Amino acid sequence: MSSDQKKRIAEIRAQALDLTDTIKTLSELGEFRVRFLGRKSELTSILRSLKDLPEEERREVGKAANTLYREIEEALDFREKSLESMPSELTLDVTRPGIRPRIGAAHPTTKILESFEEVFTSMGFEVVEGPEVETDYYNFEALNIPKGHPARDMWDTFYLESPEAIQDKAQSSELRAQGEKERLLLRTHTSPVQVRVMEQRKPPIRIIVPGRVYRHENEDATHSAMFYQVEGLLVDEGITFAHLKATLMYAFRLILGEDRIFRFRPSFFPFTEPSAEVDVRCEYCEGTGCETCRGKGWLELLGAGMVHPNVLKKVGYDPDTVSGFAFGAGPDRIAMKKYGFTDIRMLYKNDLRFLSQFI
């Protein structure tokens, strides 16, 4: 008799514990509880009949039955908790489609920067970065823009130290001049990285420098106080303006499109001579003038030129043996042209309604 009951307990155990995982709803769970633990369940009747068993058996069977009762209770409590925390549609209908996750995309400026990197690295250029907090020396002096030079007006600068603080620190006029060179500012262009790299290496040099730059300007649709630039620099023996022209035309046809038309206009930068600005013909009006190009027929792409001998001398190069070209382009503006939007500030507002269009 008792071995029969122990066998039954083992069978009930196998059946009940196997089944708890298949319970799908709370009402199923209730039925299950009644069936295995209820007043009319087999386990309850075994417990009830314990008193009729001889002492020895009563202890053994009683222990097994009580343990199983508690085990089933625990398994059901556990199942109940997991059912409660499960989203109901999953328990009701596993074939319903899931929630589509939002997929991110590269920022439009990043896309343009990546195409620069791809095109220029394929021509043997290396991608280099430099600090956004610069000194007066690298941002201006070494680029042939001495203190007090009117060309400094081309770059409205965020200074991180006041002139008074610099003066106070220095006791002698020599120290003061030194202090002024080290005055910290937010770089107004990526050109200081030209100097940093040339100081550390010997020609040949072929680099591009993507990065953020800062200008103390009022923001409007075409101006942002922080924006991006890509600097390019190539220095070697016998480099001429023809190399600059050929390199830029090749690169920009790849970046903007094979059939684009470019023009070089004479310009001025203190650190290049001769200097030029490069425009691309407006693709919307084909040069006749429209809203996008503000009636000009052309859109400005970049500033460029042959590295000024004074800049080469400052880094210890001999301008009679080596020469180079440099350019600085605005990837934000190029993104605006490529994707056809007219407010540069959209790039820095983190508005997903705008950004998610570039996926």
**Residues at the site binding ligand PHE, with contacts judged by CB under 6 A:** 189, 191, 231, 269, 272, 303-305, 326-328
Residues 208 and 125 sit within 8 Å (Cβ to Cβ): yes
The rounded radius of gyration (Å) of the Cα atoms in the chain is 38
> Which is nearer to ligand PHE, 109 or 191 (by Cβ)?
191
> Which is nearer to ligand PHE, 32 or 325 (by Cβ)?
325
Q: Is the dihedral of CA 309, 313, 317, 321 positive or negative?
A: positive
> Which is nearer to ligand PHE, 36 or 271 (by Cβ)?
271
Closest CA to 51 of 37, 40, 65: 65
Q: How far is the CB of 174 from ligand PHE (least distance, A)?
A: 30
> Which is nearer to ligand PHE, 43 or 197 (by Cβ)?
197
Q: How far is the CB of 321 from ligand PHE (least distance, A)?
A: 21
Q: How far is the CB of 144 from ligand PHE (least distance, A)?
A: 11
What amino acid is encoded at 191 in this protein?
Answer: S
Q: How far is the CB of 98 from ligand PHE (least distance, A)?
A: 49
> Which is nearer to ligand PHE, 75 or 112 (by Cβ)?
112
**Chain position whose Cβ is nearest to ligand PHE:** 328
Backbone angles phi, psi at 21, to 5 degrees: -70, -20
Neighbours of 100 (CB within 10 A): 6
Q: How far is the CB of 219 from ligand PHE (least distance, A)?
A: 17
Backbone angles phi, psi at 56, to 5 degrees: -55, -50
> Which is nearer to ligand PHE, 157 or 191 (by Cβ)?
191
Q: How far is the CB of 206 from ligand PHE (least distance, A)?
A: 15
Closest CA to 116 of 214, 237, 22, 254: 254
Edge-first strand order for the sheet with 126-127 is 126-127, 205-214, 226-236, 323-329, 298-307, 272-281, 262-269
> Which is nearer to ligand PHE, 282 or 304 (by Cβ)?
304
Residues 251 and 123 sit within 8 Å (Cβ to Cβ): yes
Residues 36 and 44 sit within 8 Å (Cβ to Cβ): no
Q: How far is the CB of 311 from ligand PHE (least distance, A)?
A: 10
CA angle, 132 as apex, 129 and 138 as ends, to 5°?
Answer: 85
